[in-house]
Amino acid sequence: MSLDRIVGQERAKAQISAWFASQRLPHAVLITGQEGVGKRRLALELAKAINCRQMPGVGCDSCSSCTKAESLSHPNIHILLPLPTGSSRSGSDAEQFAALRETALDYLAGGSTSRSGSNLPKDHILLLQREMSFAPTEAPKRVAVIFAADCMQKAGANSLLKILEEPPRHAVFLLVSSAPDRLLPTVVSRCQRLPLRPLRAEEIRAQLMEQGLAPERAELASRLAVGNRLPPANVGGEEFDAMRELVERFIDSALSGAEEEYWALLEALGGRPDKQRMEGFLGLCSAYLRDIFLIGLQRVSQVANTDREPRLKNWSERIDPRRLDGVAESLDAAFESQRHNVSPQLLLADIWHQVRRSGSVNA
Ligand SMILES: [Zn+2]
């Protein structure tokens, strides 16, 4: 892929072109936008475009610089991303970067970093600082890409701030964040913002099909992402199918008041599911409840889980739509609370009881 093949984001791409055309590439760029809009890909493509030999500013995707960048083995492109606390960070600088490269390859392929208990440690920022101070070896610039930059703790952020205050002439820092309000304001003020906007359904579909997803999956993903809170990247493999089954059993068990089933589900979800998993579960729950509501209003064309229509009809007949507000409220509260490490069991129990209440009228 290259910058010009990124789906959507015309404004961001125009901004990048303007930087290159005027030869005024900022030394620090903050790429923001919701989960799933393509920030990771854009950051990597920008890093590539900065160093491409054939088509600087766009990226040719075939020169040796682009090839190395794609496999994250470019000597002048350095990647940082949050790692679970306690993970080993020993070894020489080169060994540490090699370990990061493996994690980053998985992350760029759509893998997730577990944000809970993860951070961007200060020693990695210092590692980056050392590396960025050297002149680039085979390209015009050294580029640092810092994914999920908001996971930086204060000590790390302060170290980064020092580098951004007096950046080496040949250095470009690309910070990526879906929660820029959690960054130090002094760091943000040193960066040029590059906001990515939410994708439209057809753009999501096109993007996923470009990544090799089957058309019906891409369609489902785009429907779940628009109007719901589910990053489209989550709709893909077996993990998604398993999660979907869990959510369906969750709603079923609540509507039939089957408490043992509820406990079995908690176990299947994992005693203490991480935030990513919880967000996936809650996002799917929201999507299903929205669908139940839409089916009740006969607005079938707006339903996301189109392949589950009979089941949705069945649920809709058993639920009092006036009580769905209570469910929506507890889902909103759960989204907010799980960010603050409230026990997932407590949050799920509340949602389960609200779903049960919404169905109790006809029980
Ligand atoms: Zn190239």
Residue 65 Cα to ligand 1 midpoint, Å, equals 6
Please, what is the average pLDDT of the chain? 88
Residue 49 Cα to ligand 1 midpoint, Å, equals 7
Is a pLDDT exceeding 70 seen at residue 113? Answer: no
Residue 141 Cα to ligand 1 midpoint, Å, equals 14
Helices 344-359, 275-296: crossing angle, 10 deg rounding: 10
Most confident of 76-90, 129-143, 164-178, 276-290: 164-178
Indicate the pLDDT class of residue 361, thresholds 50, 70 and 90: low
Asked if 304 and 291 touch (Cβ cutoff 8 Å), the reply is yes
Q: Which of 36-40, 116-120, 251-255, 276-280 is predicted least confidently?
A: 116-120
Indicate the pLDDT class of residue 363, thresholds 50, 70 and 90: very low
Residue 54 Cα to ligand 1 midpoint, Å, equals 5
Residue 212 Cα to ligand 1 midpoint, Å, equals 23
In this prediction, residue 355 carries a pLDDT of 94
Is a pLDDT exceeding 80 seen at residue 112? Answer: no
Average pLDDT over residues 63-67: 94
CA 5 to CA 203: how far, in whole Å? 12
Residue 120 Cα to ligand 1 midpoint, Å, equals 30
Is a pLDDT exceeding 60 seen at residue 114? Answer: no
Domains in the chain, CATH or no CATH each = 3-198 (3.40.50.300), 237-359 (1.20.272)
Residue 74 Cα to ligand 1 midpoint, Å, equals 12
HEC-encoded secondary structure of 56-102: CCCCCCCCHHHHHHHCCCCCCEEEECCEECCCCCCCCHHHHHHHHHH
Residue 251 Cα to ligand 1 midpoint, Å, equals 50
Residue 61 Cα to ligand 1 midpoint, Å, equals 5
Q: Which of 110-114, 198-202, 238-242, 303-307 is predicted least confidently?
A: 110-114
Residue 83 Cα to ligand 1 midpoint, Å, equals 30
